[in-house]
């Protein structure tokens, strides 16, 4: 194995390039890739980071050599107590078992059961807006995506829905970009208002989840319910192994706290680009009139909404909700021809790859029309990976994509 270290900027003592990264991670990553290549080594606050920005190298990490990588310790240390052994952070045989148990809840054939709920919620939100009002679209899309997810997870009859939604908001407040440096520096036990709200949010969510689990286990007809919680409680492996209450709690926390933000961001940027590009908006409306004729879209309409699909695909290319995917090698590995030591942080840069002019003409321009069948067939496998890839491909990908297409095509006027 080669012992060559990838090139990269030197940075300051101990801090390394950390401040440059925190100030503008997108610009820093693009500049580093342009200057030093597809694998770049940096030191951020004492940590060795290997930034990857080429489809074939991303594929090495996420697919061909994935057994030599696990979720990074820095993420587990930061949020491990919250998510526990949920799919978001687990690895190995336990992760494989959980994936097997949870996957049926996201099978494509189950998606029609969720679509009417998605469009109903979108319509309810649209009806709550008055002509001439001003609203924060990101805030509204976060509310919408969270309500849709809460209904899918618990069912529409959950009595404490508002408490769940308030707790999720308080949790996310801790990771607001404007508070990122403070969050990184101050331990969770320091009694700041943000930390107190964060801990109260975790306590509230745990209480609701455990109370609902207990109520469901004691009721008749659990197997007939169609919400995701019921599926988790009744799921069994071929050997008859099911999930404990603690494991169900971990999965529910993972879905609640990490499962709606990506969709909300995709919807926000879609609305933003429609507002900025009247011609794109016109083409969308033409397709909706031709396919739907003024009615509410259904799951069966999705294959015919071809321009809508291009629109969402381009949104996720230009504005990937997760701009990097982090992994940690469990042994020394060779990556893109360079040596990467065990325990370092490998960061697959979704943002840089999806804005690379080697794969995308005029990559910083929003252009749904680029997504022709010919273009898709010529694109390298991992030149587009907003939901990750390989064994750890986001389990909620289909749910998120369907919601991202149905909400903009629902009737908003």
320-337 pLDDT per residue, tens: 988 999 999 999 999 999
Superfamily of domain 93-263: Cytochrome P450 (1.10.630.10)
User: What pLDDT is recorded for position 46?
Assistant: 87
From 248, 208, 255, 212, select the one nearest 232 (Cα to Cα): 248
pLDDT at position 249 over 80: yes
At 40 the three-state DSSP class reads strand
pLDDT at position 17 over 70: yes
Are 1-83+323-357 and 93-263 the same fold in CATH? Answer: no
For 114-127, what is the mean pLDDT? 92
CA–CA separation, 43 and 5 (whole Å) = 13
User: What pLDDT is recorded for position 384?
Assistant: 98
Q: What is the mean pLDDT of the chain?
A: 90
pLDDT at position 147 over 60: yes
The dihedral region occupied by 132, where left means phi > 0, alpha psi between -120 and 50, and beta the remainder, is: left
Tell me, which fold does domain 1-83+323-357 have in CATH? 3.30.43
Structural domain spans, the chain: 1-83+323-357, 93-263
pLDDT at position 19 over 60: yes
Summarised one tens digit per residue, pLDDT across range 170-192 is 887 776 655 555 555 566 667 77
User: What pLDDT is recorded for position 13?
Assistant: 86
For 293-311, what is the mean pLDDT? 95
pLDDT at position 47 over 80: yes
User: What pLDDT is recorded for position 285?
Assistant: 95
The structure tokens listed for 317 are 């290319």
For 65-70, what is the mean pLDDT? 95
Helix axes 397-409, 111-128, angle to 10 degrees: 40
Q: What global pTM score does this model have?
A: 0.91
From 166, 167, 170, 164, select the one nearest 193 (Cα to Cα): 170
Residue 390, exposed/middle/buried by CB under 10 A (0-12, 13-18, 19+)?
middle
From 411, 413, 334, select the one nearest 121 (Cα to Cα): 411
User: Euclidean distance between the first and final Cα of the chain, in Å?
Assistant: 61
Please tell me which residue, 349 or 321, carries the higher pLDDT value.
349
User: What pLDDT is recorded for position 223?
Assistant: 82
CB 271 within 8 A of CB 137: yes
Bridge partner list, 327: 346
């Amino acid at each position: 194995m080669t012992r060559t270290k990838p090139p990269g900027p030197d940075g300051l003592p101990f801090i390394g390039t950390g401040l440059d990264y925190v100030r503008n991670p997108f610009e820093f990553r693009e500049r580093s890739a342009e200057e030093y290549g597809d694998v770049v080594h940096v030191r951020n606050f004492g940590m060795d980071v290997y930034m990857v920005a080429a489809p074939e190298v991303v594929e090495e990490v996420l697919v061909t050599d994935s057994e030599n990588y696990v979720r990074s310790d820095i993420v587990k240390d930061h949020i491990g107590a919250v998510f526990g052994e949920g799919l978001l952070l687990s690895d190995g045989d336990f992760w494989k078992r959980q994936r097997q148990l949870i996957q049926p809840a996201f099978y494509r054939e189950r998606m029609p059961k969720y679509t009417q709920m998605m469009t109903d919620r979108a319509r309810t939100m649209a009806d709550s807006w008055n002509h001439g009002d001003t609203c924060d679209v990101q805030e509204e899309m976060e509310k919408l995506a969270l309500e849709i997810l809460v209904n899918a997870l618990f069912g529409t009859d959950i009595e404490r829905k508002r408490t769940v939604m308030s707790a999720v908001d308080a949790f996310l407040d801790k990771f607001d970009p404007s508070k990122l440096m403070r969050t990184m520096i101050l331990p969770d036990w320091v009694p700041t208002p943000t930390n107190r709200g964060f801990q109260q949010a975790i306590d509230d969510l745990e209480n609701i989840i455990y109370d609902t689990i207990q109520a469901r286990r004691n009721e008749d007809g659990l197997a007939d319910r169609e919400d995701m919680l019921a599926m988790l409680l009744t799921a069994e492996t071929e050997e008859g192994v099911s999930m404990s209450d603690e494991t169900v709690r971990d999965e529910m926390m993972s879905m609640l706290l990490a499962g709606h933000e990506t969709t909300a961001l995709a919807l926000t940027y879609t609305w933003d680009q429609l507002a900025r590009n009247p011609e794109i908006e016109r083409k969308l409306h033409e397709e909706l009139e031709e396919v739907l004729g003024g009615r509410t879209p259904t799951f069966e309409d999705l294959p015919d909404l071809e321009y809508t699909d291009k629109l969402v695909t381009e949104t996720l290319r230009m504005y990937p909700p997760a701009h990097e995917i982090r992994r940690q090698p469990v042994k020394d590995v060779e990556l893109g021809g360079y040596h990467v030591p065990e325990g370092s942080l490998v960061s697959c840069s979704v943002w840089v790859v999806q804005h690379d002019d080697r794969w995308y003409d005029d990559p910083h321009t929003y252009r749904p029309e680029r997504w022709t069948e010919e273009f898709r067939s010529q694109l390298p496998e991992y030149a587009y990976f907003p939901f990750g890839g390989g064994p750890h491909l986001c389990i909620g990908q289909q749910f998120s994509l369907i919601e991202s297409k149905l909400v903009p095509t629902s009737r908003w006027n």
